[in-house]
Amino acid sequence: MSRKTSIDLYGGAALLALSLMLGLNQVLIKVTNDGLQPVFSAGLRSSVAFFCVLAWAMWRGKTLTIRDGSLIAGMITGVLFAVEFVFLFLALDYTTVARVSIFFYSMPIWMTIGAHLFLPDERITPQKMLGLSLSMIGVAWAFADRGAGGGSIIGDILCTIGAMCWAAIGLIARVSKMNRAVPEMQLLYQLSVSAVILLPLSLLFGPLIRDLQPIHVPLFMIMAIGVVSIGFLSWFKILSIYPASEMASYSFLAPVFGVIFGWLFLDEKIGVTIIGALTLVSLGIVLINRKPKISVPPN
């Protein structure tokens, strides 16, 4: 498909479906945690997804190499990927999907701050500052209200650190030789390194199997194949077709869907704090990602 200059019906539908998938991911993790130990589940998920992505890349004839200078950056992002998801999986043992949706999807906050520090062309503008302020107020509001939705301070901190790791991966991919690698190779770095780290690490977190039920197996496979393999690769595909600036405007949908799915499937209580914090964070994300219109002088 040729490069587009704006989001059309196909792109909008694809981004909506991807946001739905990402919002549902937190529910899948939380339910699967009942059957599998979180760290083991995260490592196993990376392992399964690695072979899926590798098979896809080989079938499509993608160039997979470590000789393009991306190896060191790829290894670093793999470590960060491991930290990101071990904290996210553990966080869902302590807190609700609704709260995780607010704290984990605060990633654009940390990405914007990091870009301001390390990317000269992406300084914080007044509009971004307003977005940052609104998002930070929303995060602080949710963090301060310990009774909102049954969350815990441990869960909130864990998924916030996970969001910071997510932002760091994005920054490293932009400023390092990592950008020389095709998207599939970038994802393979993260999946392979995280699997090697998380599977042995899981032995320190108790029994690998909790109360495994038949329902946990298909839910786990949906995470590994649907979310990580198909979902992440679809994001890269969409990014290759549509402008990143317009795609970013859809990023607030994932936390919204996460809160909705937590209420719908897990019967989580959604009070004023959750709705208010989600609104502020989502509005902040829109302002952070929104590109200012350039006025064209009349001829």
Counting the structural domains of the chain, the total is 1
pLDDT over threshold 50, residue 297:
no
Among the listed ranges 179-183, 197-201, 205-209, which one has the minimum average pLDDT value?
A: 179-183
pLDDT in tens, 69-123: 999 999 999 999 999 999 999 999 999 999 999 999 888 889 888 888 888 777 8
pLDDT score of 249: 64
CA angle (39 as vertex; 256, 113 as ends), nearest 5:
50
- Beta carbons of 65 and 109 less than 8 angstroms apart: no
pLDDT score of 107: 87
Under the banding of pLDDT at 50, 70 and 90, the label for residue 125 is confident
- Beta carbons of 2 and 235 less than 8 angstroms apart: no
pLDDT above 70 covers what percent of the chain?
Answer: 91
Nearest to 255 by CA among 101, 32, 145: 101
Examine residue 299 and state whether it is found in any structural domain, yes or no: no
Examine residue 4 and state whether it is found in any structural domain, yes or no: no
Q: What is the CA radius of gyration of the chain?
A: 19
Element (H, E) at 141: helix 126-144
Examine residue 116 and state whether it is found in any structural domain, yes or no: yes
Examine residue 295 and state whether it is found in any structural domain, yes or no: no
Examine residue 1 and state whether it is found in any structural domain, yes or no: no
pLDDT in tens, 213-229: 999 999 999 999 999 99
pLDDT score of 75: 96
Q: Which residues contact 203 (CB under 8 A, 6 or more apart)?
A: none
What is the token pair recorded at 102? Answer: 């607010």
Residue 90 belongs to what domain range? 9-289
Examine residue 155 and state whether it is found in any structural domain, yes or no: yes
- Name the average pLDDT for the chain: 88
What is the token pair recorded at 223? Answer: 């995470």
The model carries a pTM of: 0.89
Examine residue 298 and state whether it is found in any structural domain, yes or no: no
The Cα–Cα gap between 4 and 73 comes to 30
Examine residue 297 and state whether it is found in any structural domain, yes or no: no
In Å, the largest CA–CA distance within the chain is 72
